Amino acid sequence: LDCRHLGRPFLQERLGQIYAEAQTFANIDLAENPLPIRPGMHYQMGGIKTDTEGRCWDMTGNWKGLPGLFAAGETACVSLHGGNRLGANSLLDTIVFGRRAGHCAAEYARTIPSPSISEHLMENDQQFVASLLAREGPGERAAKIRLEMGTTMNRYVSVFREHEGLETARQRIQELKARWSAITIQDKGQVFNTGMIAVLELSFMLDCAEAIIEGALTRTESRGAHFRTDYLDRDDEDWLKHILLYHQPEKNPHADFLPVKITQWQPQIRVY
């Protein structure tokens, strides 16, 4: 983005925030140098599989297998948008189906007694947190692994994708997951420990990255925001279906498939 012709006074007066952020985060003076532009992550075309009431599915495709578990907003996938969500359509996820999920969760809560907390599961979580805090030595740093994860995803799982790059990304994410097990946390406190939160969030992010890569490798076509340079065309005959990914400890995610229900509008080639 070249703004040099506008001059420093204009940039500081009319684009002051952008001018300041370019200096702070990119060490670039917009009055003297162009600002590099590149794609960034905005939205994940998918999420936790739910029905229209926000109830989460289990591996059999039945919400009754996970009673009381709801997802809403952009973390949920009611499958409203297909492979390419259009601008402002996030309101459907947040306002419409967020409201439906809230109502259904409230109605469900009224029908059941207050559940008891499993002492065994609670002890397991407490022991897990204690084991993270007990790690000593230089170890790995969460920030370094997170940076490498982002670099890997930006390079191999960005706008343009192909098999070799996706396989490389899968291998590197698996390596990062192994390195996560050697992370040490400097802050040993047990109250508002932001270092602990960052480590736990990183674990979930690595799982999500692995699922994204697995879905991209599995779908051997280009559709919506998913573009494969080795499969340039959309393939409705083989791929007019959803990919459901299930977490497996110590393994790649398990992939299953769900047909797309078309009620009125048939899929067509998008033209501009």
Do 168 and 252 lie in one domain? The reply is yes
Whole-number average pLDDT of the chain: 92
The number of distinct structural domains making up the chain is 2
Q: Shortest CA distance to 84 belongs to which of 118, 121, 111, 45?
A: 45
Do 98 and 148 lie in one domain? The reply is no
In a domain, 101, yes or no: yes
Residue 165 and residue 155 in contact, taking contact as beta carbons nearer than 8 Å? yes
Do 72 and 140 lie in one domain? The reply is no
Do 211 and 228 lie in one domain? The reply is yes
pLDDT for residue 18 is more than 90 = yes
**Which position has the token pair 């400890």?**
249
Domain containing 149 — which CATH number? 1.20.58.100
In a domain, 179, yes or no: yes
Do 84 and 171 lie in one domain? The reply is no
Q: Shortest CA distance to 50 belongs to which of 115, 100, 11?
A: 100
In a domain, 12, yes or no: no
CA geometry: angle 213, 216, 221, nearest 5 deg: 165
The stretches of the chain forming alpha helices (DSSP H) are 8-14, 16-26, 90-91, 97-110, 119-134, 142-156, 163-180, 194-218, 236-239
pLDDT tens, residue by residue, 75-104: 999 888 888 888 788 899 899 999 999 999
Do 159 and 236 lie in one domain? The reply is yes
Q: Shortest CA distance to 135 belongs to which of 182, 99, 172?
A: 182
Compute the distance between CA of residue 179 and CA of residue 94 in angstroms, rounded to an integer: 36
Do 243 and 139 lie in one domain? The reply is yes
User: 98 is in which domain, residue-wise?
Assistant: 48-110
Rounded (10°) angle between helices 142-156 and 163-180: 170
| pLDDT at res. 59 | 78
Q: Which of 65, 80, 110 is the last residue of a domain?
A: 110
In a domain, 3, yes or no: no
Residue 163: phi, psi to the nearest 5?
-55, -50
pLDDT tens, residue by residue, 160-218: 999 999 999 999 999 999 999 999 999 999 899 999 999 999 999 999 999 999 999 99
pLDDT for residue 3 is more than 80 = yes
